[in-house]
Amino acid sequence: MNHHHFRVPAGKRIRLQDYDPGFTGHFPGENEVAAKLRQDVEKLAKQQDMLYAQNRYALLLILQGMDCAGKDGTIRHVMSGVNPQGTQVHSFKAPSVEELNHEFLWRSTKVLPERGRVCLFNRSYYEEVLVVRVHPQLLEAQKLPPGTNGKRLWKDRFHDINAFERHLTRKGTLILKFFLHLSKAEQRRRLLTRIDTPEKNWKFSPGDVKERSYWDDYMNAYEDALNHTSTEWAPWYIVPADHKWFTQTVVADVIVARLKSLKLSYPRLSAADHRRLMKARKLLRADAGK
């Protein structure tokens, strides 16, 4: 799979309208891609095990997208084979009073992955240049200093995010960001399914329909964010989201490939540690039958 087809090039302006939410590559359907997804899930489990054992790098995965884009399902399927002990998932809802009393990166910073761990952000600090940009009245609750809430606010936040992510990558965190690109027509279908299927009623929120009315504003905000914050060190991937099976396949494929680039391995024992290991082995064998 060609990752460059989905990766937003750093420094080159893209238009979301040039990316097809229904794109499925050369795969005609879910059955044809099932084997690849299963293999990538197994590979990811192996890579994550080495990541945990080596304890040198961390992996931060960021999933963004409109309501019904498939963020939860992608997390569930792609991460189905990994060891929960080395994985964290954080979903970011409306900020609390405590969070609003800190700068906008604070609530994300305190749950960043430690070395050896995989952390998924279901939505993230990018909401501060997305939903807050579409609904600028939300800025009132952030109590920003005078003079900081002007035309440069969004560019300043893009700059802060890029610097924040550069710092993390320098210290060993691999950052992969996925925008699940859903069409407006497919979102409508999925919202209706939530209403018409009793066991999915709990997923539906009237606010989803209200936010849908801001669709164009959100697309403009996403496009601007993608163009300003896809960097060599923390790239964005625009993943077609109209077909969930393809979304999951792309995300899994990218993660596996990028983890492989770290050349992860299990820790090698020193000569002294190896001697202690052999001594323990000898004692355990001598203990047989006791």
Above 70 in pLDDT, residue 70? yes
pLDDT band at 149 (very low <50, low <70, confident <90, very high): confident
**pLDDT, average across residues 23-30:** 87
pLDDT of residue 125: 97
Full-model pTM: 0.93
pLDDT of residue 250: 96
Above 90 in pLDDT, residue 146? no
Above 80 in pLDDT, residue 148? no
pLDDT of residue 290: 61
Residue 40 to residue 43: CA distance in whole angstroms: 5
Q: What are the tens digits of pLDDT across the range 42-52?
A: 999 999 999 99
Q: What are the tens digits of pLDDT across the range 150-205?
A: 779 999 999 999 999 999 999 999 999 999 999 999 999 999 999 999 999 988 88
Give the three-class secondary structure for 213.
coil
Q: What residues contact residue 73 under an 8 Å CB cut-off, 6+ apart?
A: 244, 248
E strands, 11-103, in order = 58-65, 87-91
Average pLDDT over all residues of the chain: 93
92-98 CB contacts, 8 Å cutoff, 24+ apart: 92/121, 92/122, 92/123, 92/124, 92/125, 92/127, 93/123, 95/141
Residue 91 to residue 63: CA distance in whole angstroms: 10
pLDDT of residue 32: 80
pLDDT of residue 95: 93
pLDDT of residue 2: 77
Q: What are the tens digits of pLDDT across the range 244-256?
A: 999 999 999 999 9
E strands, the chain, in order = 58-65, 87-91, 118-122, 173-181, 236-240
**What is the gyration radius of the CA atoms in the chain, in angstroms?**
22
pLDDT of residue 27: 85
pLDDT above 70 covers what percent of the chain?
99
Q: What are the tens digits of pLDDT across the range 95-104?
A: 999 999 999 9
Q: Which of 25-29, 192-196, 212-216, 260-264 has the lowest mean pLDDT?
A: 25-29
Q: What are phi and psi of 33, to 5 degrees?
A: -105, -10
pLDDT of residue 48: 96
Q: Give, in order, the Cα–Cα distances in Å from 249 to each of 45, 182, 189, 245.
A: 15, 15, 22, 6
